[in-house]
Structure 1
């Protein structure tokens, strides 16, 4: 393979991932399940195509809105206990929110390129978050 991808620095061992999942199942999911009287999701799945489309969407529309999109923040949520959410009502979800920095045009520079503001990345409020990954059937999976 020509130019293989660099190994991401955020990788964790399968054993540690399993322990994180067991901890979640034992501590969080059991609390939610007791309250909801049904089994809660402990994993959410998105296809590569969905993720690639979302990344393309946030990069393209973020640039139009004047942002340098630099990441995605993952948030946990719980669907409202409302019949319009069907079987997901009261259960855990995971949604994605783009992050980035507002680009400021520096007119003092002779070149006409934009300089990225020296600020920390924040959630980009002008772009829609992504939700509705597949929790699978049954929802609870073991890592």
Structure 2
């Protein structure tokens, strides 16, 4: 499960970085000079990693979703607009809470059970960063990290795959 989360985190953060870099007005003319972010993987690697998740997915379905048509969710889809708006709002909220936002952590989650039917898996995006220190602080040079921003809102409600259990590519 940890590897899946890292895979999805890498994929989403890579896609977000590419989107924001390429769609920034001042960078549109210099797209050819754009450095490739670390963590970018080719479709064949995506397929290999998602197929390596198959035994875990089957274990979840065989135990939690036994007898439920369609099985558990394998992916969450978020629109670019929602992701961009989330990042903008999260960065503002982080500043208001006294943090500098430096990333996003992705947590696996599950919707609550309703009428005996287990809820689909989902992925929650949570802003990360570090608490701001005053400039005169002795520890200001030591500040950093990627901790969750305490009190910061997260993002959920990504759409499930169609059908939910389908693997990459959809």
Q: Same fold (TM over 0.5)?
A: yes
Alignment of 1:8-87 (within 5 A): 8-24=37-53, 26-34=54-62, 35-36=64-65, 37-38=67-68, 39-83=71-115
Provide the TM-score with structure 2 as the length reference: 0.70
Question: Given the alignment of the two structures, is residue 142 of structure 1 paired with residue 167 of structure 2, yes or no?
Answer: yes
Shift of 1:55: 0.1
Instruction: Report Cα offsets for 1:114-134 as digits up to 9, x if no partner.
Output: x57523220012111111100
Higher RCO, Cα 8 Å, sep 6+: 1
Question: Given the alignment of the two structures, is residue 101 of structure 1 paired with residue 130 of structure 2, yes or no?
Answer: yes
Instruction: Report Cα offsets for 1:46-70 as digits up to 9, x if no partner.
Output: 0000000100011011001110000
Name the structure 1 match of 2:30: 3
Distance in 2 of aligned mates of 1:81 and 1:141? 21
Shift of 1:30: 1.1
Distance in 2 of aligned mates of 1:138 and 1:10? 28
Shift of 1:98: 0.4
Q: What is the number of residues matched between the two proteins?
A: 134
Distance in 2 of aligned mates of 1:73 and 1:93? 14
Q: Which runs of 4+ in 1 moved over 4 A?
A: none
Question: Does the Cα contact within 8 Å between 1:102 and 1:117 map onto a contact in 2?
Answer: no
Let me know the Cα RMSD of the aligned residues: 2.3
Structure showing greater radius of gyration is: 1
Question: Does the Cα contact within 8 Å between 1:101 and 1:116 map onto a contact in 2?
Answer: no
